[in-house]
Amino acid sequence: MKFYGDLPYANGQTLDVYLPDGEYTDTVVYFHGGGLEGGDKRDFYYADIAGEFASRGYAFLSVNYRKYPEAKFPDYLEDAALSVRYAKERFCGPDGKNRLYVAGQSAGAWIALMLCFDRSYLGRVGVDPAGIDGWMIDSAQPTSHFNVIRYECGADSRLQRIDRYAPLYYLDENTRFSRMLLVWYEDDMPCRPEQNELLVAAIRQFLPDADVEHRRLAGGHCHGSTEKNEDGKYDFAEVALQWLAKAGKGGEA
């Protein structure tokens, strides 16, 4: 595996690139978790997961973005959109035939969903969200993110809201995406399983034929991407790699 660290992409933010030793066809852009106020692209489990993807033949970009308390909405979304453009321009080839996937864990999954459903962020940087080849969402909050409610509204972070800070707010009959993998956990954060079940039902209401696979895994919040299983692997990575292989191109299952 080849590693290139702390590559600047925009707004003083950097990303790490993990490449397989041989050729690669597909690229994954990954946003870390941490409640929009913590976490880092190089936390050990993200680096481990990046290695799992690279070992299966994928280029993997682990992205940092601006966070609270210095950041304000929508700084982190604008950073994320620019990182996707960076990946598309530098890792997908001039003809765009290599596939590009966007993924995230927890807060990073909320970011990914916002980019998918609110087309304005990617659109402003010249990327069509419908052109992303797949979205891998690990324990996202599809309602308004609790720390956005806290920092932006000064309100109780336990509130359940669907407003402009919620991916669900932008889901309607005009929503378009290619494929999506949704993962959440049996003992996830309060309301998180129900929030994801609502997301699946809402997608089905507007897009009954959408290619959405949803998996409810054992464990607590983001267990599948922070704790190794008995085989020394991360359950989220294994599920995601199997899902990616169904496309018939890219890394091996």
Query: Each residue of 125-168: pLDDT tens digit?
Result: 999 988 899 999 999 999 999 999 999 999 999 999 999 999 99
Looking at residue 125, which CATH number applies to its domain? 3.40.50.1820
Q: Which two tokens stand for residue 122?
A: 């990617």
DSSP state at residue 3:
E
Q: Would you say residue 253 lies in a domain? A: no
CB atoms within 10 A of CB 6: 12
* Assigned domain for 241 exists: yes
Is 251 within a domain? no
Number of domains in the chain: 1
The alpha helices in 66-191, defined as continuous H runs, are 75-91, 107-117, 120-124, 146-153
Host domain of residue 114: 2-245
Split at pLDDT 50, 70, 90, the class of 107 is very high
| Strands annotated E in the chain | 2-10, 13-19, 26-31, 58-63, 100-105, 134-138, 179-187, 211-220
Cβ-based neighbour number of residue 124 at 10 Å = 12
Any domain includes 169: yes
H or E stretch at 197:
helix 192-206
194 token code pair: 């129900």
Alpha-helical regions (H) of 30-74 = 44-55
Gap between the Cα atoms of 140 and 193, Å rounded: 9
Q: What is the residue-averaged pLDDT of the chain? A: 95
For the question of whether the overall pTM of this predicted structure is more than 0.85, the answer is: yes
For the stretch 174-209, pLDDT in tens is 999 999 999 999 999 999 999 999 999 999 999 999
At residue 249, does pLDDT exceed 80? Answer: no
* Token representation of residue 123: 């659109």
Q: How far apart are CA 77 and CA 28, in angstroms?
A: 17
> Residue 108 above 80 pLDDT?
yes
Does residue 65 contact residue 246 with C-beta atoms inside 8 Å? no
**Residue 196 belongs to a domain:** yes
249-to-82, 103, 128, 133, 212 alpha-carbon distances in Å: 25, 18, 21, 11, 18
Terminal alpha carbon distance of the chain: 18
Q: What is the DSSP string of 85-111?
A: HHHHHHHS-TT--S-EEEEEETHHHHH
Nearest to 61 by CA among 34, 73, 79: 79
Residue 91 lies in a domain: yes
